[in-house]
């Protein structure tokens, strides 16, 4: 989390909403019933596609009807002769990337795409004749052109200009692209001259037409600098300064200038130099590209493939002159790639448009396109009205995505019109086959064309967003926008919505395999079941961190200020807080009991990273943490830098691995535990914007009933609307964009539509005497009834209550109407009582209130009057159970220490004891085992229903599990055991022990404490279960004198009491077997200090 000052006046200038394509929708060129083949192109040139490279099913019988489309418009074919097509193609220049920039004009690098250099041409067999290159011949006696404008271009693509991969990162980054953001070159050291060379091949000097240089430069450090730009004079001994360029922070700017004749050698070679005036050691800048447009002599000698850029002129015709053009050469006017014209190669004359440049290509060789570049595409007709729950996924998750859609179509799943769409199809149909998140924006815009914005978008699949880590062609990715990654920017500003407000709710599941989706679906099914008990969802957990004492207080106070919103709102929630107590960087906290018992929402406010928070509660999959919240999955909100950054390609599910998946992803994807949805920031969080967002989120969730019942995705949208409506600065906007929702956006946090009044069977009814008197002597006793509303709080709803009590054998009935909030105590005066035996309470006896659960409205208190009469309050002993149980573990009847050796298949006993009754319930223990003693493997939860386990009752408050493994042989092991009582109170510390097993006879003696004072414990360790006669212990001093001798006939331990002795001693222990074999351990030295 970061702090910043608001004293600046922040003004948005020339901010442009993400635009749509020029046509109404990007798929309006498609004829659905026609066949299409996508031809992938990665360079410019003339391409030849043999019919044999096309899919066999593609119809080429009528070549006149073959049509070729590029970016939604038909382009002409050069030829369809010889069972092949010939066409002119260009790679993807990234022009659609500009739709992700603010403003769009700030995309300065027009030479390459951020996402892919591959463009797509679509071949189809249409219903009319296809477009062909126009053949026209012209004659002119004008002098041939002597030059054209050539471009020398050098691009650098190794880094991203706003990269966070290096030690110096931007202090603030928006998720949309801005300030010339681009792929760029390596970081260059600041305060020294850095040289870049160029060569203008075949340069022709033309009066008043100087070579023109254009450079894109980026700052690469959080400071300002002025870059000084020089060129080397052709004498090689001096530099000419051509200008200065001021760059602030990581921004990029274009710099342009003309070269003088003295700036390069006669053969067109020269150099450009850059130097920063910033002397800081870490000062860096970079070059994205530099280009030089210069007049190049048109060589009459033929070059096989050559492009010519003819400068504007006033003539209607222009003539080129080439020598020795054979029939294999072709000359094309490609000034307009959608209307290419063939130029007669004999006369080489082309028509001109006054004042416009012209582009011509002379070629002999074409580029053959193989079968692997020709992909059959089926464009399915999409009707937006048939989908209101939209899933976008990849080919890896086909099966699980289908299962998820089927659930959403079901009655329990909401009876949605759910549809699955594949990202590659979306690229083809909504971005002309070009890989980019723009395709998803175009697709959503189309899906909202029916005027219905009550839809959901759920992204199933990964997105890897740092440009340096991005897989080629975004393979198997469902891309978010920018870095820091934003899913929200895929849907903001569409269908008439405000620029920074999502048009529809959007969420993502970072699934990499079907199992991830299926595991999450099972959690959603459980969460959305209407039957069951919902009181746990009213429990809200607040956690806060902080680096300094003032921060710790500030963050704690920020969350504390939100408590009344929760407790006094329509939910009537119950808030519990955990706050950092020290200024250490990371402070661990145990919230397993709260999570396991059930929490509706967890809010974290503090510092964080992808893998931890500064008040650290850990990974849900970390067995040592003791988490087991099956069926009780919270919604979580994190304010902490990068907790929601799940976009770096880290998917290892092991919570201890160096490349482990992020904390928030772990809580979302873990099976049968964890969270149902998480909102967290994908980059840095700032205090004030986060507080503003959190306040609006809480008001939306807990204050307005009509809004709070919306889905979590709709609530995120409403929160964004409120933040924007109240005036959002750049930090607020970044916070909106970078708050990533992991999980299904259709999940409803408060899906409790009715109240649920209940009385506890154990702690719901009490009787109280007057102050200072016993019940028998009281003349004005009270019955206290504790009523809890486990459902929705209905303001001003009157709840009827009937209280019946039996005193002196007479039934007495009291009717009372009360207002019940979240938790209230109803007091009823009953005067003097004698021989009170029973109190019965029934809520809503006439069943006039519609509740979630009618079965918890009755409770009864049986009174032992002989005991109660002398008490002022009854029952006095009933208190909430908050005492955790205890756990003891033994191996073959003894406790062991870390790294001790035990026999193969040891008998392991785990006993749980509590101060309350314990039922014979195997679910009270979670037992994990891993077959390594380091972090190279993970714990595996053991199934206690397996025949290797035996569950026994030791007493009313103690149970025991006996584990008799059958295959626990040679190797290193680690055992982890968690235990809880019936009230979900977990043991304070999980039992965790490392041990090893060898399948050969071993005899070892461990002595401790060592050094010792009063006693030494010799612990024997041997693997033989049978055939042991006895163990002979001998203690010697340094002179070899035997001090003591002891024989032990049973496996176990021996305590030696040295009494007044002190100094160095040796222990010789001999294991005598029944067969006479002897094993001796003589490695123990003991120091006794008095």
Model pLDDT for residues 881-894, shown as the tens digit of each residue: 677 899 999 998 88
**pLDDT confidence tier of residue 323, bands split at 50, 70 and 90:** confident
pLDDT computed for residue 1014 by the predictor:
87
- CB-based contact 820:791 (threshold 8 Å): no
* Tens of pLDDT, residues 1028-1076: 788 888 999 888 899 999 888 766 678 889 888 889 998 888 888 777 7
Q: Is the pLDDT of residue 1011 over 50?
A: yes
| pLDDT above 60 (res 275) | yes
What's the confidence (pLDDT) of residue 2? 53
Class of CATH domain 147-297: mainly beta
- At 644 the three-state DSSP class reads coil
Ordered by start, the domain boundaries in the chain are: 36-135+369-375, 147-297, 381-507, 531-743, 757-874, 886-997, 1002-1088
What's residue 22's pLDDT? 40
618 falls in which pLDDT band (50, 70, 90)?
very high
pLDDT the model gives residue 3: 46
The pLDDT of residue 519 is 98
Per CATH, 381-507 and 531-743 having the same topology is answered yes
pLDDT of residue 762: 67
pLDDT computed for residue 917 by the predictor: 73
pTM: 0.81
Q: Which range is least confidently modeled, 45-54, 191-200, 479-488, 1065-1074?
A: 1065-1074
Q: For all residues of the chain together, what is the average pLDDT?
A: 90
Confidence of residue 20 (pLDDT cuts 50, 70, 90): very low
**What are the pLDDT digits (tens) for 903-914?**
889 999 999 999
The pLDDT of residue 55 is 97
Q: Could you tell me the two tokens for 809?
A: 């054998």
- The stretch 852-878 carries a mean pLDDT of 82
Mean pLDDT calculated for residue range 438-444: 98
**Between helices 438-447 and 423-430, what is the axis angle to 10°?**
80
Q: Is 687 a residue whose pLDDT tops 70?
A: yes
Q: For residues 746 and 524, give the distance between their C-alpha atoms in angstroms, rounded to a whole number.
A: 10
Could you tell me the two tokens for 78? 């050069």
Question: How large is the average pLDDT for residues 739-762?
Answer: 84
Q: How confident is the model at residue 1082, as a pLDDT?
A: 64
**Exposure string (b/e) for 394-419, b if CB count within 10 Å is 16 or more?**
bebbeebbbebbebbeeeebbebebb
Residue 645 to residue 485: CA distance in whole angstroms: 8
Residue 734 to residue 842: CA distance in whole angstroms? 53
Mean of pLDDT values over 705-732: 91
Position 1052 scores a pLDDT of 66
Q: Of 912, 913, 907, 905, whose CA–CA distance to 890 is shortest?
A: 907
In Å, how far from its chain's centre is CA 212? 46
As a whole number, mean pLDDT of residues 399-414 equals: 97
Instruction: Give percent of the chain with pLDDT exceeding 70.
Output: 94
Quote the tokens at residue 599.
């929490």
pLDDT, position 148? 96
Look at strands 252-258 and 389-393 and give their pairing. unpaired
pLDDT at 708: 67
pLDDT at 450 exceeding the cut of 60: yes
- Give dist(CA 377, CA 196) in Å, integer: 45
Binning pLDDT at 50, 70 and 90, where does residue 5 land?
very low
Judge whether residue 17 has pLDDT over 50. no
Specify burial of residue 1050 (Cβ count, 10 A radius: 0-12, 13-18, 19+). exposed
pLDDT band at residue 8 under the 50/70/90 scheme: very low
What are 363-379's pLDDT values in tens digits? 998 999 999 999 999 99
Question: pLDDT at residue 530 above 80?
Answer: no
Two structure tokens written together for 465: 């967003």
**Which among 1051, 1038, 1041, 1047 has a CA at the least distance from the CA of 1085?**
1038
Contact 1042, 1033 (CB under 8 A): no
Higher pLDDT, 636 or 316: 636
Could you tell me the sign of the dihedral formed by the alpha carbons of 638, 643, 647, 652, in that order? negative
Q: Residue 931 pLDDT more than 50? A: yes
Q: Residue 209 gets which letter from DSSP?
A: B
Give CA separation, 685 vs 284, 457, 699, in Å: 26, 25, 20
1023: confidence class by pLDDT, cuts 50, 70, 90: low
Give percent of the chain with pLDDT exceeding 90.
63
CATH of 757-874, one of 2.60.40.10, 3.40.50.720, 3.40.605.10, 3.40.50.300: 2.60.40.10
Q: Is the pLDDT of residue 970 over 80?
A: yes
DSSP state of 656: T
pLDDT of 881: 65
Of 2.60.40.1930, 2.40.50.140, 3.40.50.300, 3.40.50.2300, the CATH number of 1002-1088 is 2.60.40.1930
- Domain range 531-743, its CATH number among 3.90.1150.10, 3.40.50.410, 3.10.20.30, 3.40.50.1460: 3.40.50.1460
CATH 2.60.34.10 fits 886-997, yes or no: no
Confidence band of 835 (pLDDT split at 50, 70, 90): confident
Range of lowest pLDDT (12-16, 195-199, 304-308): 12-16
pLDDT at 1022: 63
Confidence band (pLDDT; 50, 70, 90) for 13? very low
CATH 3.40.50.10390 fits 381-507, yes or no: yes
Average pLDDT over residues 187-196: 92
Task: Indicate if the pLDDT at residue 569 is higher than 50.
Answer: yes
Give yes or no for a contact between 1035 and 1057, defined as CB atoms under 8 angstroms apart: no
- pLDDT-derived band at 880 (thresholds 50, 70, 90) equals low
| 499 vs 705, higher pLDDT | 499
d(CA 58, CA 66): 11
Angle between helix 549-560 and 687-702 (nearest 10): 20
Residue scoring higher pLDDT (887 or 868): 887
pLDDT at 1059: 86
């Amino acid at each position: 989390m970061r702090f910043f000052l608001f004293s600046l006046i922040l003004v948005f200038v020339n901010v442009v909403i993400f635009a749509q394509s020029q046509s109404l929708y990007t798929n309006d060129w498609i004829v659905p019933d026609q066949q299409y083949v996508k031809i992938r192109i990665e360079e410019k040139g003339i391409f030849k596609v043999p019919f044999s490279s096309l899919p066999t099913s593609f119809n080429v019988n009528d070549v006149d009807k073959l049509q070729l489309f590029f970016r939604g418009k038909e382009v002409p074919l050069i030829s369809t002769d010889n069972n092949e097509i010939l066409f002119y193609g260009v790679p993807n220049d990234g022009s659609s990337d500009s739709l992700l920039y603010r403003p769009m004009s700030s995309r300065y690098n027009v030479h390459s795409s951020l996402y892919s250099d591959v463009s797509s041409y679509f071949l189809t067999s249409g219903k009319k004749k296809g477009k062909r290159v126009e053949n026209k011949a012209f004659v002119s006696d004008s002098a041939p052109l002597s030059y054209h404008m050539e471009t020398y271009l050098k691009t650098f693509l190794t880094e991203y200009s706003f990269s966070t991969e290096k030690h110096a990162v931007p202090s603030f980054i928006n998720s949309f692209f801005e300030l010339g953001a681009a792929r760029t070159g390596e970081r260059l050291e600041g305060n020294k001259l850095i040289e870049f060379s160029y060569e203008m091949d075949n340069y022709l000097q033309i009066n008043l037409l100087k070579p023109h240089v254009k450079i894109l430069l980026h700052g690469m450090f959080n400071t300002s600098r002025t870059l000084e730009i020089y060129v080397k004079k052709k004498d090689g001994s001096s530099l000419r300064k051509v200008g200065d360029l001021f760059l602030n922070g990581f921004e990029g700017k274009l710099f342009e200038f003309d070269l003088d004749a003295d700036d390069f050698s006669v053969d067109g070679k020269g150099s450009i130099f850059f130097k920063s005036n910033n002397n800081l050691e870490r000062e860096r800048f970079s070059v994205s590209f530099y280009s030089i447009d210069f007049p190049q002599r048109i060589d009459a000698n033929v070059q096989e493939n050559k492009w010519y850029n003819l400068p504007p002129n006033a003539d209607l015709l222009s003539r080129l002159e080439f020598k020795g053009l054979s029939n294999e050469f072709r000359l094309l006017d490609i000034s307009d790639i959608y209307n290419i014209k063939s130029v007669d190669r004999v006369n080489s004359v082309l028509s001109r448009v006054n004042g416009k440049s012209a582009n011509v290509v002379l070629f002999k060789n074409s580029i053959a396109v193989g079968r692997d570049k020709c992909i059959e595409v089926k464009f399915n007709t999409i009707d937006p009205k048939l989908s209101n729950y939209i899933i976008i996924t990849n080919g890896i998750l086909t099966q699980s995505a289908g299962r998820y859609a089927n659930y959403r179509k079901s009655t329990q799943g909401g009876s949605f019109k759910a549809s699955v769409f594949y990202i590659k199809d979306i690229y083809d149909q909504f971005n002309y086959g070009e890989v980019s998140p723009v395709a998803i924006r175009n697709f959503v815009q189309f899906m909202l064309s029916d005027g219905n914005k009550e839809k959901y978008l759920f992204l199933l699949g990964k997105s890897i967003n740092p440009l340096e880590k991005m897989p080629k062609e975004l393979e198997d990715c469902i891309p978010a926008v920018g870095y820091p990654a934003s899913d929200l920017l895929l849907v903001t500003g569409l269908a008439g919505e405000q620029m920074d407000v999502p048009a529809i709710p959007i969420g993502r599941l970072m699934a990499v395999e079907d199992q991830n989706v299926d595991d999450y679906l099972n959690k959603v099914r459980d969460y959305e079941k209407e039957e069951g008990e919902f009181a746990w969802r009213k429990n809200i957990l607040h956690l806060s961190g902080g680096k300094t004492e003032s921060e710790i207080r500030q963050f704690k106070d920020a969350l504390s200020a939100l408590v009344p919103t929760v407790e006094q709102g329509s939910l009537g929630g119950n808030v519990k807080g955990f706050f950092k107590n020290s200024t250490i960087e990371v402070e661990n906290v145990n919230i397993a009991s709260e999570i396991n018992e059930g929490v509706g929402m967890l809010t974290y406010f503090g510092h964080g990273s992808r893998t931890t928070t500064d008040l650290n509660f850990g990974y849900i999959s970390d067995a040592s943490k003791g988490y087991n919240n099956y069926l009780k999955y919270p919604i979580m909100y994190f304010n902490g830098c990068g907790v929601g950054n799940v976009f770096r390609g880290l998917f290892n599910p092991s919570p201890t691995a160096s490349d482990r998946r992020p904390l928030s992803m772990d809580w979302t994807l873990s099976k049968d535990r964890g969270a149902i949805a998480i909102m967290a920031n994908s980059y840095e969080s700032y205090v004030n914007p986060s507080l503003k967002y959190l306040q609006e989120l809480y008001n939306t969730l807990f204050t307005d009933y009509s809004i709070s019942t919306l889905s979590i995705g709709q609530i995120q949208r409403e929160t964004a609307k409120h933040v924007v409506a109240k005036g959002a600065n750049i930090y607020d906007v970044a916070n909106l964009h970078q708050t990533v929702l992991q999980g299904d956006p259709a999940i409803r946090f408060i899906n409790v539509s009715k109240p649920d009044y209940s009385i506890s069977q154990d702690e719901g009814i009490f009787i109280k005497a007057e102050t200072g008197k016993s019940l028998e002597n009281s003349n004005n006793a009270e019955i206290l009834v504790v009523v809890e509303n486990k459902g929705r709080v209905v303001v001003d709803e009157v709840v009827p209550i009937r209280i019946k009590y039996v005193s002196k054998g007479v039934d007495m009935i009291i009717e009372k109407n009360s207002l019940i909030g979240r938790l209230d105590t109803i007091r009823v005066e009953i005067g003097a009582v004698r021989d009170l035996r029973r109190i019965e309470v029934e809520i809503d006896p006439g069943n006039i209130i519609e509740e979630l659960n009618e079965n918890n409205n009755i409770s009864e208190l049986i009174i032992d009057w002989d005991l109660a009469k002398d008490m002022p309050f009854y029952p006095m002993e009933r208190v909430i159970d908050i005492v955790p149980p205890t756990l003891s573990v033994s191996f073959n009847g003894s406790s062991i220490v870390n790294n001790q050796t035990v026999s193969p298949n040891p008998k392991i006993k785990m006993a749980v004891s509590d101060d309350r009754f314990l039922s014979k319930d195997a679910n009270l223990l979670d037992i994990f085992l891993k077959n390594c003693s380091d972090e190279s493997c993970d714990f595996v939860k053991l199934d206690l229903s397996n025949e290797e386990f035996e569950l026994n009752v030791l007493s009313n408050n103690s149970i025991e599990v006996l584990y008799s493994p059958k295959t626990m042989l040679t190797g290193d092991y680690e055992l982890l055991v968690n235990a809880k009582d019936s009230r979900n109170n977990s043991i304070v510390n999980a039992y965790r022990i490392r041990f090893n097993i060898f399948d050969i006879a071993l005899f070892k003696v461990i002595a401790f404490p060592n050094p010792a004072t009063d006693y030494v414990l010799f612990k024997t360790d041997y693997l033989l279960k049978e055939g042991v006669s006895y163990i002979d212990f001998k203690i010697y001093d340094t002179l070899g004198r035997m001090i003591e001798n002891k024989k032990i006939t049973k496996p176990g331990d021996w305590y030696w009491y040295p009494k007044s002795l002190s100094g160095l001693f040796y222990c010789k222990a001999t294991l005598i077997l029944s067969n006479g074999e002897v094993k001796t351990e003589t490695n123990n030295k003991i120091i006794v200090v008095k």
